[in-house]
Chain A
Amino acid sequence: KNQVEQSPQSLIILEGKNCTLQCNYTVSPFSNLRWYKQDTGRGPVSLTIMTFSENTKSNGRYTATLDADTKQSSLHITASQLSDSASYICVVSDNNDMRFGAGTRLTVKP
């Protein structure tokens, strides 16, 4: 069983709308959690990194939250744009390894 589970698997929204992507993990001990954006045909690019003591971190229209007690994270995208169409991957690190979620495929339609 994957130690990092993401939901939903895919999501379609209209341009300008907000959306929230979920990440649940069982990785232990916890070191940090990253959200990556992967455009079609490209490698993943880091959006945010959160450590144990951080609850919220923003990067422009992207806001990540972390609840280390329940081992849940979310990525909220505000006022979506067509360029937000991509896969979003949650990656959780212990002190030695990085565990990748399968990703959420987001499609933003005009």
Chain B
Amino acid sequence: NAGVTQTPKFQVLKTGQSMTLQCAQDMNHEYMSWYRQDPGMGLRLIHYSVGAGITDQGEVPNGYNVSRSTTEDFPLRLLSAAPSQTSVYFCASSYRGHYNYGYTFGSGTRLTVV
């Protein structure tokens, strides 16, 4: 099925470990973003990309890196995991201007850092 695919769905990390959350979309969307969702808070933007080779920081970028080598893929890297990064992470994509076209979201990755 077309859409946004995130892997893994669940992950437990030890403090200090690194890992990459994968995100792929097959809709030829230009915009891709990573959000984190914490209890009692709205989704917060970590990083986003307006096209292959272009990335920028969102509201809460510290501790995360991204790259966009292809239109389809937008991985999120945690450099040295901390308990504060325990959260549910969503990847989203949109055709051009996301604020007008809205996002298609992946199913999320639930990350626990112990």
Contacts and interface: CB of A to CB of B under 8 A. Distances in A.
Question: Chain A's interface: helix, strand, loop or mixed, by majority?
Answer: loop
Contacts of B44: 100
Interface residues of B, number: 19
B53 interface: no
A43 B106 contact: yes
A99 B98 CA distance: 12
Interface stretch (A44-52, A64-72, A75-83): A44-52
B42 A42 contact: no
25 contacts: A2-B41, A2-B42, A31-B99, A32-B100, A34-B102, A41-B108, A43-B90, A43-B105, A43-B108, A44-B43, A44-B90, A44-B103, A45-B105, A46-B102, A89-B43, A93-B99, A95-B99, A96-B99, A98-B45, A98-B98, A98-B103, A100-B35, A101-B42, A102-B41, A103-B42
Contacts, number: 51
Query: In which size bucket is the chain A interface?
Result: 20 to 34
Nearest to A6: B42
B107 interface: yes
A94 interface: yes
Interface string B70-112: 0000000000000000000010100000111011011110000
A42 B105 CA distance: 9
B42 A43 contact: no
A99 B35 CA distance: 12
A103 to B, nearest CB: 7
B99 A97 contact: yes
A100 B105 contact: no
